[in-house]
Amino acid sequence: MTKIKKLHHKRLNFPPQDAQTLREQIEAAPTDGLHDVLKPYQEWPFVRGDMYHWIPTLNRFDETMADAIEKYKLSGLQESDFDHSTQQTLVSMLHFSRLLLENCINRNLYSSVDRLDSLLNTSDPEVLECTLRLLLRASQRWSYQRDLRANQALMSARLMTLADPWHTKKDIVPHADKDTAESAASHANEFRLLADDKNTNLLKAHGGVVRYQFFRTAEDVQQMEAEGAAPVDSIAVSLDTRKKTGDGGSHRRTPSKKSHSHQSDAGRQSSTLSEGLVSIHTPVCDLGLDHTAGVSAQMRQAFDKLVAQHNVPRAHHFELRHRIYVALAFAAGDSELRYALLRARIYAAAILSQLMNEREFKNAFLSREPNFTADIIGVLQPEVHAPLSVQTAVFLALESLLKQRSEVSGAYVALNASANHGVLMFILRKAFTDVDGPPAFPYELMSALYFFLTAMANNMNGGQLLVSAGVVPVFVSALKHTHSQQLRSIGRAAKLLDYLISSTSST
């Protein structure tokens, strides 16, 4: 990152006094006190601002992130957990930076994308999620994509790993109750399966398996032998005594026909490392982890064992670690961690849809998950009872996916966007029915819904579909809200109404 050195332009107005006060508090606070200053600002309380006012704040945030990246060696995989103060500070800075991008003009001033790239190596799920949300908002601004593409090769590989399918249906569906049509449909959609809390015990019992495949090249063998890696005959190729082979790997290189030899059979051994396809299919319960330790510590134990067990080259470490984290979330029955990783998966796919053109996105991502858009919309169905945080991630992803022309019609069909009884209208009615009460949904979900509706109204007949579904009366009722916490929703509903009425031709 280069420090922002631009001066205030001549016509820049003075910021509001309360914004000026906050800026001074941020600049004066010690590093371990930034969280206390930023914590009250979960929503943007000011009028629309200008990034020029916040240049010193952005520089301060960049320096703090750089210190954390250096301290925890985030140029590679994170090897030790953040201390509590550092973790809270990073989360608060990332959250406030995103608020700035969403509520200020001159957003092209933001230039800490390379810091965010390094933070993708974190093992902290909350920091990872906040990083991805900020990257998603940055990637939606055309002026940032030049900065993002400077690191796109390495960043896209990590994002692709985070967005990859988890292939849980193979383990879960045979044990699931599919007596009803609703249950069968739910388990056919991996996102609905993962987002429903009722499936936690099912996932715990059958989903805690580390699945990964990689191809060890001749170059990998030479490098590992130079580093003194253990020969294959000193290790067991798979801890799964049933000799299952997993389909969870997604490495991009295609192995040669002659290289499928010894790695798939635990009985074959060789005195030296050799190239070939290596399949890892290991239940978490067989790894002998210390279950008194935290999830992050268990993840590192499993990672170290599997890397040594299978002589995994360094290029595959990030993907293997993520596979282990997912399996541990299932095995521990930790629904909050599962939801955090699921949200990260949705955000990563949305970022890829912004970084890639339509052809690249189709070949790199949709070829492996062709029903992604329809599947994440399935999470919004009321019978799924998905957490509101996951629904927020879905709406933010849909906002980005509407920019992929091949996904627009599928999204509208899955949402039943033109129907008065569709899932979108169900959510809107729920959000605006009680005119005297507080908001039915939290600020984050309401903001994501507003961003999506704005994108839809500006995209390929989306405005006409909304009008035909009967959204205008719903927004008119929103103007009657009297609760103080609904004032922001009133303004947003008025803007959408103005656009829909003025842009939709009367028939």
- b/e sequence 321-340, b meaning 16+ C-beta within 10 Å: bbbbbbbbbbbbebbebbbb
**Cα–Cα distance measured from residue 232 to residue 265, given in angstroms and rounded to the nearest whole number:** 12
- Report whether 144 contacts 101 (CB < 8 A): no
Asked whether the whole model's pTM tops 0.75, one would answer yes
Positive/negative CA dihedral, 461, 465, 467, 473: negative
CA–CA distance from 402 to each of 316, 359, 395 (Å)? Answer: 32, 15, 11
| Predicted local distance difference test score (pLDDT) of residue 155 | 80
Q: Which residue has the tokens 């994308």?
A: 113
Cα–Cα distance between 210 and 281 in angstroms, integer? 6
Residues whose CB falls within 8 Å of the CB of residue 265, separated by 6 or more in sequence, listed in order: 237, 243
The CA distance from 335 to 440, in Å, is 23
pLDDT confidence of residue 377? 96
**What is the predicted pLDDT for the residue at 250?**
43
Cα-to-chain-centroid distance, residue 399: 14
Tell me the C-alpha distance between 441 and 464, whole Å: 26
Cβ-contact 216, 246 below 8 angstroms: no
Write out the E strands in 83-136. Answer: 104-105
Beta strand pairing call for 49-50 and 104-105? parallel
Q: Which two tokens stand for residue 119?
A: 């933070």
Cβ atoms < 10 Å from Cβ of 502? 8
In this prediction, residue 228 carries a pLDDT of 72
* pLDDT at residue 145, rounded to an integer: 52
Angle of CA points 210, 215, 217, to nearest 5°: 145
In 129-286, which ranges are E strands? Answer: 209-216, 276-283
**Per-residue DSSP letter, 9:** P
Cα–Cα separations (whole angstroms), residue 305 to 57, 235, 279, 284, 300: 43, 11, 15, 11, 9
Region class of 294: left (phi > 0), else alpha (psi between -120 and 50), else beta? beta
Q: What is the pLDDT along the chain (507 residues), one digit of tens a residue?
A: 556 665 555 566 677 888 999 999 999 999 999 999 999 999 998 988 888 889 999 999 999 999 999 999 999 999 999 999 999 999 999 999 999 999 998 888 888 988 999 999 999 999 999 999 999 998 887 545 555 555 566 688 899 999 999 877 666 655 565 544 444 455 578 899 899 888 888 888 878 899 999 999 988 888 888 877 655 433 334 444 344 444 444 444 444 444 444 444 433 334 457 889 999 999 999 999 998 888 899 999 999 999 999 999 999 999 999 999 999 999 999 999 999 999 999 999 999 999 888 999 999 999 999 999 999 999 999 999 999 999 999 999 999 999 899 999 999 999 999 999 999 999 999 988 777 888 889 999 999 999 999 999 888 689 999 999 999 999 998 888 888 788 888 888 898 998 888 776 544
Looking only at the bridges linking them, the beta strands covering 104-105 and 209-216 are: unpaired
- What residues contact 394, with CB distance under 8 A and at least 6 apart? 346, 376, 377, 379, 380
What are 248's two structure tokens?
A: 């969870």
* CB-based burial label for 47 (10 Å; 0-12, 13-18, 19+): exposed
The reported pLDDT for the residue numbered 446 is: 92
Decide if 98 contacts 136 (C-beta within 8 A): no
Residue 58's H or E segment, with its range, is: helix 55-71
Q: Which residue has the tokens 């569709």?
A: 422
